[in-house]
């Protein structure tokens, strides 16, 4: 499998080997076994060496994957239209998690400026030093942008999170003959191997009808993302909304019997594969989002589920089609690439149906045209 993947540079390989040794040291200090969530945390976020905290390029043609803001500015422009409606009900502030190259922030701020909507402060929380540097360059013309190292204690305004929840460490659980097991990581002669241990029942409580799933069924649960949503609920003041866009399912679709190997996936240089132990620190490791769990935790934290829908329905309701027509169709050289990009965002065969939108809020009303495609009854 790995022979078809691009070879890393000597410097990148050296950084991966240092991270591999750091993870092996962590396993040894923990008594020979760590939960997979700890492995994923170190692989993605270990200081200076993890995928998101290190210096390698992540987005675009030289990176490992491409996100919606990189495909077309129409995505950010449509989100800006939504933000404009919400900002009229709250403080003129936006907080973005995991801002990537800064492209989404630039497109949102540019569109809001055209709409005459003032944003006094646009704050970014991003753990990647490489991406922060790119964001500073991309957003040099917007003096209201500031970077935070942690959640603010309180926030009123609009929160944005595009492909953030999928990058949070997950627990792997597998159905044994007599109950659920927690999958962990141990040292092996060639690096790492999986090893299972008994797990507390609460860990699998996220899984509906868990008792009916067959032995050997492997899946993910999301305590870190759930904890993040709970912290968000504590942070959001009266008059705030959070928009999360990511790939995933409601629980009754996530934990289907036929999805018996879960959704964990790795992305390296625009190649996807399923081995999380390959070149730690040089590849992204992700899992689909259980939106039922996110909505439930948000509600427990006092937030209202304002909307849950597909990316296609949300963007179309936000007016992305009208935004496309700013470019005259007669100008084929400019129009066709944008039309093709929009198709990728909204087509059920591309991102339109796999990606979902969850809007949580406190003391805010979502405009009726945006709530028309609401599927929260399916959560």
Confidence of residue 57 (pLDDT cuts 50, 70, 90): low
pLDDT at 60 over 70: no
Q: Note if the pTM is more than 0.85.
A: yes
Confidence of residue 55 (pLDDT cuts 50, 70, 90): low
- Predicted local distance difference test score (pLDDT) of residue 238: 85
pLDDT at 59 over 50: no
By three-state DSSP, how is residue 37 classified? helix
281 closest CA partner among 88, 45, 91 = 45
Question: What is the mean pLDDT of the segment spanning 109-132?
Answer: 92
Tell me the pLDDT of the chain averaged across its residues.
93
Contact between 360 and 366 (Cβ < 8 Å): no
- Predicted local distance difference test score (pLDDT) of residue 127: 78
Give the whole-number percent of the chain exceeding pLDDT 70. 96
pLDDT of 67-113, one tens digit each?
999 999 999 999 999 999 999 999 999 999 999 899 999 999 999 99
Of 45-49, 143-147, 232-236, give the lowest mean pLDDT range.
45-49
Tokens standing for 256?
């289907």
- Predicted local distance difference test score (pLDDT) of residue 194: 98
* DSSP structure class, residue 50: S
DSSP codes joined into one string, 250-270: -HHHHT-TT-TT-S-EEEETT
Half-sphere exposure of 220 (CA within 13 A, CB side): 28
- Predicted local distance difference test score (pLDDT) of residue 53: 85
Confidence of residue 54 (pLDDT cuts 50, 70, 90): confident
Residue at token pair 């597998």: 174
Compute how many other C-beta atoms are within 10 angstroms of the C-beta atom of residue 341.
Answer: 18
Cα(31)–Cα(53) distance, integer angstroms = 26
Sign of the CA dihedral running 352, 221, 223, 282: negative
- Predicted local distance difference test score (pLDDT) of residue 322: 97
Domains of the chain and CATH, by start: 7-379 (3.40.50.12710)
By three-state DSSP, how is residue 110 classified? helix
CA 245 to the chain's CA centroid: 7
pLDDT at 1 over 80: no
pLDDT at 242 over 90: yes
Question: What is the mean pLDDT of the segment spanning 39-48?
Answer: 95
Question: What is the mean pLDDT of the segment spanning 290-296?
Answer: 98
pLDDT of 250-273, one tens digit each?
999 999 999 999 999 999 987 889
User: Long-range contacts for 259-268 (Cβ within 8 Å, ≥24 apart)?
Assistant: 259/219, 260/214, 260/216, 260/217, 260/218, 261/218, 262/172, 262/218, 262/219, 262/220, 262/287, 263/219, 263/220, 263/287, 263/288, 264/170, 264/172, 264/220, 267/64, 267/65, 268/5, 268/6, 268/64
Confidence of residue 64 (pLDDT cuts 50, 70, 90): low
Angle subtended at Cα 308 by Cα 303 and Cα 312, rounded to the nearest 5 degrees: 145
pLDDT of 147-181, one tens digit each?
999 999 999 999 999 999 999 999 999 999 989 99
Cα(210)–Cα(346) distance, integer angstroms = 33
Share of the chain residues as helix, strand and coil, in percent rounded to the nearest 5: 40, 25, 35
Q: What separation in angstroms does the CA of 379 have from each of 134, 211, 248, 257, 376?
A: 37, 20, 12, 18, 5
Cα(122)–Cα(146) distance, integer angstroms = 6
Question: What is the mean pLDDT of the segment spanning 331-358?
Answer: 97
Cα(96)–Cα(125) distance, integer angstroms = 6
- What kind and span of H or E run contains 286? strand 284-286
């Amino acid at each position: 499998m790995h022979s078809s993947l691009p070879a890393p540079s000597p410097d990148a390989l050296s950084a991966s080997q240092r991270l591999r040794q750091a993870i092996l040291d962590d396993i040894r200090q923990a008594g020979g076994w760590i939960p997979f969530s700890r492995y994923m945390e170190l692989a993605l976020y270990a200081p200076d060496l993890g995928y998101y905290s290190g210096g390698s390029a992540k987005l675009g043609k030289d990176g490992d994957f491409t996100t919606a803001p990189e495909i077309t500015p129409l995505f950010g422009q449509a989100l800006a239209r939504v933000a404009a409606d919400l900002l009229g009900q709250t403080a003129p502030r936006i907080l973005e998690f995991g801002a990537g190259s800064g492209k989404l922030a630039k497109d949102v701020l540019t569109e809001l400026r055209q709409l005459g909507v003032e944003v006094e402060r646009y704050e970014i929380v991003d753990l990647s030093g490489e991406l922060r540097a790119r964001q500073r360059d991309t957003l040099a013309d917007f003096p209201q942008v500031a970077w935070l190292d942690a959640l603010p204690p309180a926030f009123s305004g609009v929160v944005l999170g595009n492909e953030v929840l999928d990058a949070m460490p997950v627990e792997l659980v597998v159905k044994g003959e007599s109950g659920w097991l927690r999958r962990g990581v141990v040292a092996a002669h060639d690096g790492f191997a999986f090893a299972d241990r008994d797990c507390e029942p609460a860990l699998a409580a996220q899984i509906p009808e868990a008792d009916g799933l067959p032995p050997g069924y492997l899946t993910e649960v999301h305590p870190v993302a759930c904890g993040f949503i709970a912290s968000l609920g504590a942070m959001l003041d009266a008059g705030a909304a959070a928009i999360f866009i990511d790939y995933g399912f409601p629980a009754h679709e996530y934990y289907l019997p036929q999805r018996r190997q879960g959704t964990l996936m790795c992305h390296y240089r625009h190649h996807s594969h399923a081995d999380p132990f390959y070149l730690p620190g040089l590849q992204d490791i992700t899992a689909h989002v259980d939106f039922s769990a996110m909505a439930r935790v948000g509600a427990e934290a006092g937030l209202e589920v304002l909307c849950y829908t597909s990316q296609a329905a949300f963007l179309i309701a936000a007016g992305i089609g009208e935004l496309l027509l700013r470019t005259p169709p007669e100008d084929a050289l400019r129009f066709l690439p944008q039309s093709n990009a929009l198709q990728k965002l909204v087509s059920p065969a591309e991102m339109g149906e796999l990606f979902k939108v969850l809007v949580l809020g406190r003391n805010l009303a979502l405009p009726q045209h945006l709530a028309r495609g609401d599927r929260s009854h399916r959560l």
